[in-house]
C-alpha cells in the first residue's frame, strides 16, 4: 500500500515521483504526485498501483546534518 511521503518509480519509464497527497476514498484522482521535473500531477489509484512501485534506490544527497 502506497502512502504520502513514498518515493515511487514508474515501471514503464523509470521516472521517480513523490506522493504528496492520497485520497483514501477516491479512485480517479486518488494520488497527487510531485514529479522529478517539479510538476504536480493527479494520478488514478488504478494507474499508480499497477504501474508504479515504491522506489528502493539509494539516497542522492548527503545525510550529514549542518
At 14, which CATH number?
2.30.30
Region 26-39: mean pLDDT is 93
Three-state DSSP class for residue 26: coil
Task: Indicate whether 61 pLDDT > 70.
Answer: no
Tell me the whole-structure pTM to 2 decimals: 0.80
**In contact, 33 and 18? CB cutoff 8 Å:** yes
pLDDT band, residue 20 (cuts 50/70/90): very high
Q: In the predicted model, is pLDDT for residue 57 greater than 50?
A: yes
Q: How many separate domains does the chain show?
A: 1
Average pLDDT taken over every residue of the chain: 86
Residue 48 lies in a domain: yes
- What's the rounded Cα separation, in Å, for the pair 38 and 49? 22
The range of the structural domain enclosing residue 26 comes to 7-54
Distances from the Cα of 42 to the Cαs of 17, 18, 49, in angstroms? Answer: 12, 12, 13
Would residue 62 count as lying in a domain? Answer: no
Amino acid at each position: 500500500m502506497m502512502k504520502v511521503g513514498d518515493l515511487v518509480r514508474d515501471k514503464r519509464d523509470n521516472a521517480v515521483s513523490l506522493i504528496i497527497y492520497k485520497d483514501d476514498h477516491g479512485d480517479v484522482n486518488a494520488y497527487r504526485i510531485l514529479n522529478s521535473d517539479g510538476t504536480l500531477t493527479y494520478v488514478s489509484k488504478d494507474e499508480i498501483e499497477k504501474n508504479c512501485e515504491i522506489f528502493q534506490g539509494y539516497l542522492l544527497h548527503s545525510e550529514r546534518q549542518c
